[in-house]
Amino acid sequence: MTIKGKAFIAGAYEHPDRIIPDKSLSQVSAEIVLGALADAGLGLSDVDGLLCAGDTPGFGAISLANYLGLKNLSYLDSTETGGSSYVLHVGHAAMAIAEGKCKVALIVLAGLPRQSGFYGVSHGQPPELGFEEPFGLTIPSGYALAAKRHMYEYGTTSTQLAEIKVAASHHAQYNPNALLQKRVTVEEVLESPMISDPLHRLDCCVITDGGGALVVVAPEIARALVRHCPKVLGHGEAPKYATNGRIDLTFTGAVYSGPRAFAEAGVSVGDIDYASIYDSFTITVLETIEDLGFCEKGQGGRFVEDGTLQAPYGKLPLNTDGGGLCNNHPAFRGGMTKVIEAVRQLRGEANREVQVPDCEIALAHGTGGFLGTRHGSATLILGREDA
């Protein structure tokens, strides 16, 4: 079964705050849910599908449904693939709608890492822990390993990685809600403190409170709404494992999820007007651009030079809200905001200075987990077509 044209995104909402000192996680969840439903022109009583991931407090979807008072649920999904979960959830919601399991699916992400002071990620005790933790593997060092290997294999430079941060800051300066709104230069990126060689502080994403929500609906619901609803065209998902150390650090799971999404959508990389690509670190973007086919493997460094990623007129306008590098990375999970900004671009509602002209087809991609070890990738292609 294909999901192409079987579902539409009717509502998208990003919490405006990046530091939230005085609200509970459940309160923040409720705020973003109500924001997304209002954006769609729907109410809580219309929701019959709920999707969330490991960030949801309590008993996951059950606790959230209880808190929100959702009484008409016929579909639940709490698939956990880290930051890519919410990109993946759009595909799952579209499949559920296509199969008649629900008609109005709500996807939710909320987190308060700055309020809590907890800057780690906990997923229990994985089987690989005893082989990695004793050697000091951290999240930044895992990504640094990938960056260092890419540099060794292909001659990629820190200057080229810095171009990705520069593009993000160019976009963030026009976003009044972005955590970091100051435009930076390549030199400033390279002069920022080294976190894990070769990654500098400005190669790393921000840490924020907040979250976002999406409302995915059946075609008949979309037709009845005043709001323009971007169409789900294609979706792909895939894991990538460390395979007990036998791992090529120069590519991501996008090499698997991307072709599946493009094939289902019936489009090619040349058709993409705008891209939202997970930017936990600059190296994440560079490898993903290659893996999705926007350039040949190993040519990502050259590809991102000379303003390629800067909107509105770059060759591949990317993360026009400032992305995880400058704008928002709620609960250490950037997939949700990637879809939200893609929806804004297709609606013509991105910040005026970075709105891509005549944006018809957008791509959103999430990378959940750790680039240096194991992760889950999800690719989503959306179109401006009407229901």
Kindly state the percentage of the chain with pLDDT values over 70: 97
Give the pLDDT of residue 371.
87
Give the pLDDT of residue 387.
64
Question: Does the pTM exceed 0.85?
Answer: yes
Which residues, at least 6 apart from 277, have a Cβ–Cβ distance to it below 8 Å?
284, 285, 288, 289, 292, 318, 319, 338, 363, 364, 365
pLDDT band at 118 (very low <50, low <70, confident <90, very high): low
Vertex 121, ends 115 and 122: CA angle to 5°?
110
Neighbours of 192 (CB within 10 A): 17
> Domain 8-116+205-383 adopts which CATH fold?
Peroxisomal Thiolase; Chain A, domain 1 (3.40.47)
pLDDT higher than threshold 90 for residue 17: yes
pLDDT higher than threshold 80 for residue 375: yes
Two structure tokens written together for 184: 């930076």
Assess contact for 216 and 107: CB atoms under 8 A: yes
Q: How far apart are CA 337 and CA 327, in angstroms?
A: 9
Two structure tokens written together for 317: 């306008």
Section 303-323 average pLDDT: 97
Section 254-272 average pLDDT: 98
> Does 312 sit behind a cis peptide bond, omega within 30 degrees of 0 on the bond before it?
yes
pLDDT higher than threshold 60 for residue 121: no
Q: How far apart are CA 173 and CA 260, in angstroms?
A: 35
Sign of the Cα pseudo-torsion (113, 205, 239, 145, in order) = negative
Short-list 330, 361, 382, 285, CA closest to 85:
330
Assess contact for 356 and 345: CB atoms under 8 A: yes
Question: Per mean pLDDT, which range of 1-15, 22-36, 130-144, 304-318 is the poorest?
Answer: 130-144
pLDDT higher than threshold 60 for residue 119: no
CA 87 to chain centroid, in Å, comes to 6
pLDDT higher than threshold 90 for residue 134: no
Section 253-281 average pLDDT: 98
Section 148-170 average pLDDT: 98
Q: How far apart are CA 29 and CA 15, in angstroms?
A: 9
Neighbours of 1 (CB within 10 A): 7
Please state the length of the chain. Answer: 387
Assess contact for 242 and 100: CB atoms under 8 A: no
Kindly state the percentage of the chain with pLDDT values over 90: 86
Neighbours of 297 (CB within 10 A): 15
pLDDT higher than threshold 80 for residue 129: no
Section 323-337 average pLDDT: 94
Q: How many CA atoms lie within 13 A of 270 on its CB side?
A: 0
